[in-house]
Amino acid sequence: MKVMTIIGTRPEGIKMAPVIKALQDTPGMESVFVNTAQHRGMLDQVLGLFGLKPQYDLDLMKAGQGLEELTMRLFEGLQPVLEQEKPDVVLVHGDTTTTFVGAYAAFLKQIPVGHVEAGLRTNTLYSPFPEELNRQLVGRMAAYHFAATEANRENLINENVNPASIAVTGNTVIDALLEISERPVRCRTELEEIFANGRRTILVTTHRRENMEDMQHIYRALERIVDQYDDVQVVFPVHKNPAIRRSVMQVLTGRNRIHLVEPLAYAEFVHVMKHSFLVLTDSGGIQEEAPALGKPVLVARETTERPEGVEAGTLKLVGTSEERIVKACSTLLEDETAYRRMAEVRNPFGEGDAARRIIDVLQGQAAASGGQKVVSR
Ligand code: UD1
Ligand code: UDP
């Protein structure tokens, strides 16, 4: 069976690395790895860490790229690759523009699509934007739905997806996290010095498009928190998106105990998560990783597609209101019981064997179809 994996951004790289490696190591599977390079440096870091080299690199990233233009260039880039390789299955991950176009380009060639991390929903089309629509559209197109959790499976069933096409596998991010956690890490000196000072660290990341207008409320909340607690510091790896950078720099440049750093290599980032007191983020993947490391996460968004984390008690939605963020951080900084309740290690997102389970499903499908192509929904 020839399986083409199409990825383009940092989180897709982290979460699909275990799958690509498992495909490469499985007899009878031919792996074709396509990197659209919707992200460049941030994804290249990940591929280097996992030792992965794409067979096709479309090199699409442009500074400050617009979604329409990116979408068009993705179609143009992917069509000849699909025609050349004629894979039996195309795997995409999650909800980015690469994910949507990768799935649709394969669908137009009637190639079955496998959707990894299927069934996440907020059911609010503009939150996250444009990811909620992307994942819903891929859900209509996919022949195989690899859901991380039971709740994700139920979301798909509520949309009349054929239950036989859904497998609950856990999230591949746990596979990646476990693999990287076992490796020795060398952090840059700047980070070692920051963590040696004994202060409590709030780790922050922001990048959501729908938050763009309100980002500065998050940053003002951070200023207030470090002013209020002199044993607290912020470590903030700033996303490469130029619009985000401008917004962060405007408010936080030169602030005492607020360390703005370049995006961290994944191994470093995991190390920093482990050594942080709490995480404030609008990221998707970090909502899964931090609970697995026993770190409370304040989610700077109005919605989450990961209610399992909220139910388990490790995620709390705080939106982008300055007041709510200051209040939630203060509670965790001052109230040990409240902190412990959120820091309990309860990881609802998998056991670290998701990639293996995905390959098992594909192998089962290959055996059942006797090499025939399957287009099933
Ligand atoms: C994209 C995804 C989002 C995902 C996020 C992960 C879409 C619509 N958005 O958002 O779902 O959560 O990635 O981070 O698919 N840039 C660099 N170097 C890099 C990466 C990005 O300079 O390695 C800059 C470029 O100027 C680029 C801009 O960031 O144009 C935005 O990148 P883009 O992929 O369009 O959007 P993200 O906000 O990163
Ligand atoms: N991450 C990283 N370095 C950083 C910040 C994040 O390696 O400086 C990792 C993080 O551990 C997670 C992923 O990037 O696995 C999340 O990416 P992002 O927040 O950009 O995207 P999302 O998950 O929201 O789609």
Please, which pLDDT band fits residue 367 given cuts at 50, 70 and 90?
Answer: confident
Determine if residue 350 is left, alpha or beta; phi over 0 gives left, psi from -120 to 50 gives alpha, anything else beta.
left
Query: What does the pLDDT look like over 149-161, one tens digit per residue?
Result: 999 999 999 999 9
Q: Which ligand is nearest to the CA of 299?
A: 2
Q: How far is the CA of 286 from the centre of ligand 2 (A)?
A: 6
pLDDT of residue 376 exceeding 70, the answer is no
Reading phi first (left if > 0) and then psi (alpha if -120 to 50, else beta), residue 254 is in left
Identify the DSSP state of 373: -
> Ligand 1 pocket, 283 CB below 6 A?
no
- H or E element: which one contains 54? none
Tokens coding 237: 């790896």
Q: Which atom of ligand 2 is nearest to the CA of 131?
A: 25
Share of the chain above pLDDT 90, in %: 92
pLDDT of residue 375: 45
pLDDT at 377: 44
Residue 287 Cα: closest atom of ligand 2 = 23
Mean predicted confidence (pLDDT) in 312-326: 96
Look up the CATH superfamily of 189-343.
Glycogen Phosphorylase B; (3.40.50.2000)
pLDDT exceeds 70 at position 352: yes
338 Cβ contact list (under 8 Å, min separation 6):
331, 332
| Beta-bridge partners for 34 | 6, 56
Pocket test residue of 264, 268, 286 for ligand 2, highest count of atoms within 8 A of CB: 286
Ligand 1 atom with minimal separation from the 65 CA: 30
Which of 7, 9, 10, 236 to mutate for ligand 2's pocket (most ligand atoms within 8 Å of CB)?
A: 10
**Protein residue closest via CA to atom 10 of ligand 2:** 286
Catalytic positions, please?
95, 117, 131, 207, 209, 239
pTM exceeds cut of 0.95: yes
Query: Which ligand approaches the C-alpha of residue 8 most closely?
Result: 1
- Is domain 2-170+353-369 given the CATH code 3.40.50.2000 in the classification? yes
- Pocket flag, ligand 1, residue 68 (CB < 6 Å): no
Compute the chain's Rg from CA coordinates: 20
Determine the average pLDDT of the residues in 260-266.
96
Is any atom of ligand 1 closer than 6 Å to the C-beta of 259? no
For residue range 160-198, what is the model confidence (pLDDT) as tens digits? 999 999 999 999 999 999 999 999 998 888 899 999 999
CATH 3.40.50.2000 residue spans of the chain = 2-170+353-369, 189-343
First to last CA, the chain: 19
Q: Look at residue 374 in the predicted model and tell me its pLDDT.
A: 47
Q: How is residue 162 written in tokens?
A: 């054929």
